[in-house]
Amino acid sequence: MSKTCTRCKIEKPLDEFSRQTRTKSGYRGECKSCAKLYARSESAKASQRKTQAKYMQTEHGKTKSREKCARYRKKQLFKDSVQKSRAKYPERRSAQIALWNAVQSGGVTRPDVCSLCNCLCIPEGHHFDYSRPLDVIWLCKMCHEAAHHVS
């Protein structure tokens, strides 16, 4: 038996096609070689990124992401990375600690909205100058990442 590939339009034997139970014939529409070429293409990668972003917006995707992050944070590789970063930038760490202590003691109040986009969130403090640890602007996660990419 043979089948025509939907991409290259060449008739090939069935062993050139991957099995897929959801289709009428029981085989994929494209041959294995065309499927490999498509998987490596930029349009396939863009499609994958789009699908992944959409999945990450679902409750299941968020839960899986949190679990993955929690597993990574338990690894020694992550702990070593954090320790290395803290040793490399001690002034940044001391500014973070000073701000954290001020927020906990009530000396500094954290707002409920981002200073840039005004979205309702738990904003993060962004330091422009680590020598002034309490002089921060409060940014949501996305705006904070954008601020660091600009700086």
Q: pLDDT of 9-26, one tens digit each?
A: 999 999 999 998 788 889
pTM above 0.75, yes or no: no
Q: Give pairs for 37-46: CB < 8 Å, separation 24+.
A: 38/7
What average pLDDT score do residues 64-93 get? 96
Strands (E) located in 2-143: 2-4, 11-13, 17-19, 27-31, 124-127, 136-139
Nearest CA among 96, 86, 88 for reference residue 132: 96
pLDDT for 24 equals 84
Q: Is the pLDDT of residue 151 over 70?
A: no
More confident residue, 40 or 151: 40
Quote the strand ranges of 64-135, DSSP E: 124-127
